[in-house]
Amino acid sequence: MGNASSMLTQYDIEEVQEHCSYLFSQQEIVSLYERFCQLDRSAKGFVAEDEFLSIPEYSTNPLSQRLLRMVDGLNFKEFVSFLSTFSARASLQQKIEFIFKVYDIDGKGKVSFKDLVEVLRDLTGSSMSEKQREVLI
């Protein structure tokens, strides 16, 4: 599984399924592997920041920079684990923990006023002043 151009074995598929708490079927994992290989253009065995930004929906997301710190350099198993949060089969708790990580910018285990201002800045761009953001929060 280290080389992105190699094929997945049944053992690899089962290992990835276990790692992501069986939120994806074997066929879904094979499909995700094909997509992972497309993204890993240099066949390094992980997807780099610029490769993630090649996904149009990802690059236009106002929170893409927040997500990038979570996904840069993921190998296939980590890639599937990251995507498992978006699965319809993921629990509410998994989704809440993921959203919390997006908002906990400094990684200190709490969402501070400063973290919220940063996220709001990403979402509003230049359409709001710093003062307006602070008042809103």
Q: Is residue 115 part of a domain?
A: yes
Do 14 and 54 fall within a single domain?
A: yes
Both tokens assigned to 67: 């997500």
Do 60 and 108 fall within a single domain?
A: no
So what's the pLDDT on residue 2?
A: 46
Which one, of 51, 12, 52, lies nearest residue 30 by Cα? 12
So what's the pLDDT on residue 6?
A: 59
Do 12 and 72 fall within a single domain?
A: yes
Question: Whats the size of the chain, residue-wise?
Answer: 137
Which one, of 57, 55, 49, 50, lies nearest residue 73 by Cα? 49
CATH of the domain at 3: 1.10.238.10
Both tokens assigned to 127: 């359409």
The C-alpha atoms of residue 69 and residue 52 are separated, in whole angstroms, by: 11
So what's the pLDDT on residue 28?
A: 95
So what's the pLDDT on residue 48?
A: 85
So what's the pLDDT on residue 57?
A: 79
Tell me which residues of the chain have a pLDDT lower than 50.
Answer: 2-5
Q: Is residue 99 part of a domain?
A: no
Do 80 and 46 fall within a single domain?
A: yes
* Residue 11 identity: Y
